[in-house]
Amino acid sequence: MSGKRTPFYNLHVSLNAKMADFVGFQMPIQYPTGITKEHEIVRTGVGVFDVSHMGEFEITGPDRNAFANRVTCNDVGALRDGQAQYSALLAENGTFIDDCLVYRFDDKIMMVVNAANIEKDWKLLVLKKAGINVRLRNISDDVALLAVQGPKSEELVQSLTKMNLSRIKYYHFETGKVGGVDCFISRTGYTGEDGFELYFRPADAEVMGNTLIGHGRGEPVGLGARDSLRLEAGYPLYGNDIDDTVNPYEAGLGWIVKLDKGAPFTGRTALEAVKRGDVKRKLVGFKVPEKGSIPRHGYDVYLKGTKVDTVRSGGFGPSVGGAIGTTYLPTHSVDPGTEIEIDCRGTKVKAEVVKMPFYKGGSVKKS
Amino acid sequence: MSNIPDELRYTEEHEYVRSESDGVVTIGITDYAQGELGDIVYVDLPDVGTEVAKMDVFGTIEAVKAVSELFSPLTGEVVDINTALDGNPSLINQHPYEDGWMIKLRVQNLATIEELMSATDYAQHIGE
């Protein structure tokens, strides 16, 4: 199998993970535990995900905050040191180039981007840098990243560090040691559960992996469960729910667009026009009431007999006990209860618009 | 290593065939196949009485990861289906050769069973 390896490759193999290519990386899709059980573990206990394939860019220099504010749509000025935010890189026409996390340190900005988009995002940053006093570094290969997720995350990580984790609020981070390894740790995640993301040097991956994963500690969880967890929690996935044909207002992500932040940012002019006019379609969640079929990414979606879109994300939600998905519908037909049909390999299957998130019982503490 | 019982016959599409008495065979998917598919969520099976030809699609398996079709290893008539799978499709993951069976087929031509792969051939087919 070809593809890049994360620093945890050997650990995955030793844990008998089912490895597969994911956007050019060899990643664990599941472990022998299985996707459903892994999903359940994150909802009730604590699971550990290798997400080292994600990309990281470091922005330093006197104009770092202003620069980050120009290339992303959320307001970096609203962040204090030690705080992070969900944001996006947009094209001039206001559509998504990528979604990202922006971490504000006292001496730098770090952006975390999707693995599939690292090259594209990096080119954009380099292009936008002209004339601005910042230094950019693509540190994607120099960062190992584990996500520890689940209601028992704090208990697990607290047992391995002197940092007071209860003080780290949602979307905040601190620098310190976990299991003796230098890292910084943020209370963030992609599962709907409480949890942390730990960034550290690849050279420390073996120690950190063995510290966090194992019997009585965190269960290893693969990308399969990561997808079902994030879908249930209503988090968008780039390439499915959002892409370069969709703007944030359509995707229900208007809250990350700060038109009035006092900095011109890529896509702003286009989005002002979008906001003045009508948003013609919106991302909705749907469920399939009847058992038997699972809507998958790419299946056609019909509203009153007319094809309106495709399934953006689709799958079985173990915690909601049924098949769920997302699609774009005309704004006049997005109310919960609206009936749609999905062409599941030749059979039209009824589905119903529901409010997202699909799973509301998560332990994530947003305040 | 997956479980490949010697006494069964196999197809390239990972179904197994067990000869019962009176010209009826039991069909399901192999241990290797259930392992590759992962957690199975739904199984769609034909009605009893359906006539299927060899290589016809007789059903569908929806696993968490992916959907896959079931191909009939032989030509015949469906005489029974495993209704327990309706409420508990994970039986296929747990006991593919026992409680996780799918359909019973009255085979048109019993000699065609011999054309299917042996356990040794199937092990080779999946690289074990």
User: What CATH code is carried by the domain that includes residue B96?
Assistant: 2.40.50.100
A173-195 confidence digits (pLDDT tens): 999 999 999 999 999 999 999 99
Q: Mapping DSSP to helix (H, G, I), strand (E, B) and coil, where does residue A332 land? A: helix
Which fold does the domain A280-367 belong to in CATH?
Elongation Factor Tu (Ef-tu); domain 3 (2.40.30)
A193-234 confidence digits (pLDDT tens): 999 999 999 999 999 999 999 989 999 999 999 999 999 999
Instruction: Tell me which DSSP letter residue A68 carries.
Output: H
Q: Tell me the longest C-alpha to C-alpha distance in chain A.
A: 60
pLDDT confidence bin for A60, thresholds 50/70/90: very high
- The domain limits of chain A are 4-52+143-232, 55-139, 280-367
Instruction: Tell me which DSSP letter residue A333 carries.
Output: G
Is residue B47 one of the residues assigned to a domain?
yes
3-state DSSP helix/strand/coil % of chain A, to nearest 5: 25, 35, 40
pLDDT (mean) for A236-243: 98
Question: Mind telling me how many Å the CA of B116 is from chain A's nearest CA?
Answer: 29
A195-205 confidence digits (pLDDT tens): 999 999 999 99
The structural domain count of chain B equals 1
Extract the tokens encoding A257. Answer: 């667009």
CA–CA separation, A258 vs A140, rounded Å?
Answer: 27
Is residue B111 one of the residues assigned to a domain?
yes
Question: Mind telling me how many Å the CA of B74 is from chain A's nearest CA?
Answer: 24
Cβ-Cβ contacts under 8 Å, B57 against chain A = none
* Cα dist from A334 to A88, A96, A316, A338, A360, whole Å: 24, 22, 22, 7, 20
Cβ-Cβ contacts under 8 Å, A316 against chain B = 41, 62, 64
pLDDT value at A268 more than 90: yes
Mutate to test the interface with B, among A41, A223, A294 (most CBs of B within 10 A): A294
pLDDT confidence bin for A1, thresholds 50/70/90: low
Kindly state the percentage of chain A with pLDDT values over 90: 96
Q: Mapping DSSP to helix (H, G, I), strand (E, B) and coil, where does residue A147 land? A: strand
CA–CA separation, A271 vs A94, rounded Å?
Answer: 6
Question: Mind telling me how many Å the CA of A292 is from chain B's nearest CA?
Answer: 5
Contact across the interface for B62 and A292, Cβ inside 8 Å? yes
Output phi, psi for B73, to 5 deg: -75, -20
pLDDT (mean) for A279-286: 97
- Low-confidence spans in chain B with pLDDT less than 50: none
A322-347 confidence digits (pLDDT tens): 999 999 999 999 999 999 999 999 99
Q: Mapping DSSP to helix (H, G, I), strand (E, B) and coil, where does residue A4 land? A: strand
Of the candidates A5, A47, A45, A58, the residue with the CA atom closest to the CA atom of residue A28: A5
Of the candidates A29, A232, A260, the residue with the CA atom closest to the CA atom of residue B36: A29
Is residue B92 one of the residues assigned to a domain?
yes
Contact across the interface for B62 and A35, Cβ inside 8 Å? no
Question: Cβ distance B67 to A345 under 8 Å?
Answer: yes
Cβ-Cβ contacts under 8 Å, A293 against chain B = 42, 62
**CATH of A4-52+143-232 among 3.10.620.30, 3.30.1360.120, 3.40.50.11540, 3.40.50.300:** 3.30.1360.120
For A318, name the nearest residue in chain B, comparing CA atoms only. B64
Output phi, psi for A18, to 5 deg: -85, 110
pLDDT value at A296 more than 80: yes
pLDDT value at A367 more than 90: no
Contact across the interface for A294 and B93, Cβ inside 8 Å? no
Residues of chain A with a CB closer than 8 angstroms to some CB in chain B:
18, 29-30, 34-37, 224, 228, 291-294, 296, 315-316, 318, 345
Q: Mapping DSSP to helix (H, G, I), strand (E, B) and coil, where does residue B19 land? A: strand
pLDDT value at A2 more than 90: no
Is residue B3 one of the residues assigned to a domain?
no
pLDDT (mean) for A50-62: 98
pLDDT value at A293 more than 80: yes
Of the partner residues A35, A291, A345, the one whose CB lies closest to the CB of residue B64: A35
A to B CB pairs, distance under 8 Å:
37
A350-362 confidence digits (pLDDT tens): 999 999 999 999 9
pLDDT (mean) for A107-132: 96
Residue A298 CB: number of other CB atoms within 10 A?
A: 10
Is residue B126 one of the residues assigned to a domain?
no
pLDDT value at A61 more than 70: yes
Question: Cβ distance A7 to A144 under 8 Å?
Answer: yes
CATH number listed for the domain at residues A55-139 = 3.30.70.1400
Rounded to a whole number of angstroms, the CA Rg of chain A reads: 20
Extract the tokens encoding A331. Answer: 């704004």
Is residue B30 one of the residues assigned to a domain?
yes
Residue-number span of the structural domain to which B54 is assigned: 9-116
pLDDT (mean) for A89-118: 98
Q: What per-residue confidence (pLDDT) applies to A278?
A: 85
